[in-house]
């Protein structure tokens, strides 16, 4: 598909100030800070994303810990656009303020939803076509017997075959 053919995935080790180029965008790791949520504690990373040197966006992936469940979870940061989606997630800390970081650049993801919308519109247009309604009326007005299939019956453990019946 178009998305799979042009996507970029990088799994890299990043220290504070390190930059990585992926999918034509520059990702710069600015560090991670500790934050407290309503039911979790987290380390929130800050990654600046730019294209061609101009500041584009700042992304904040998180590594969360939920004390009640005693479980951890990674929250990816997602930046969507008309022609691409960017996902950034924190892996594990690897020492000295460095983290493993996973970066995905997926072009044309939103176009999948556009294709679904176009197919739905096509289905509505086809179902509302006047030619189908006229053909249905002509068939019922011709007096031709309508054929239907009766369901199979079970008689004392033996299955009988479905049969055609005229109405």
Which has more confidence, 79 or 144?
Answer: 79
Q: What is residue 120's predicted lDDT score, i.e. its pLDDT? A: 93
pLDDT at position 152 over 90: no
- How far apart CA 44 and CA 55 sit, in angstroms, is 20
Going by C-alpha positions, the residue among 13, 43, 46 that lies closest to residue 28 is 46
Fold (CATH) for 2-108:
Tick-borne Encephalitis virus Glycoprotein; domain 1 (2.60.98)
Higher pLDDT, 141 or 31: 31
pTM equals 0.68
**More confident site: 62 or 24:** 62
Instruction: Give the mean pLDDT of the chain.
Output: 83
Question: Which of 25, 27, 29, 28 is CA-nearest to residue 52?
Answer: 25
């Amino acid at each position: 598909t178009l998305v799979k053919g042009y996507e970029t995935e990088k799994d890299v080790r990043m220290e504070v100030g390190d930059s990585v180029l992926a999918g034509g965008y520059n990702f710069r790791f600015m560090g991670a800070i500790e934050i407290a949520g309503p039911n979790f504690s987290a380390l929130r990373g800050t990654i600046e994303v730019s294209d061609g040197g101009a500041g584009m966006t700042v992304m904040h992936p998180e590594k969360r810990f939920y004390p009640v469940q005693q479980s951890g979870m990674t929250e990816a940061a997602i930046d969507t656009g008309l022609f691409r989606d960017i996902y950034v997630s924190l892996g594990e800390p690897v020492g000295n303020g460095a983290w493993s970081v996973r970066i995905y650049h997926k072009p044309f993801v939103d176009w999948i939803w556009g294709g679904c919308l176009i197919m739905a519109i096509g289905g509505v247009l086809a179902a509302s076509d006047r030619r189908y309604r006229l053909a249905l009326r002509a068939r019922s007005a011709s007096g031709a017997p309508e054929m239907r299939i009766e369901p199979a019956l079970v008689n004392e453990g033996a299955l009988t075959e479905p049969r055609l019946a005229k109405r």
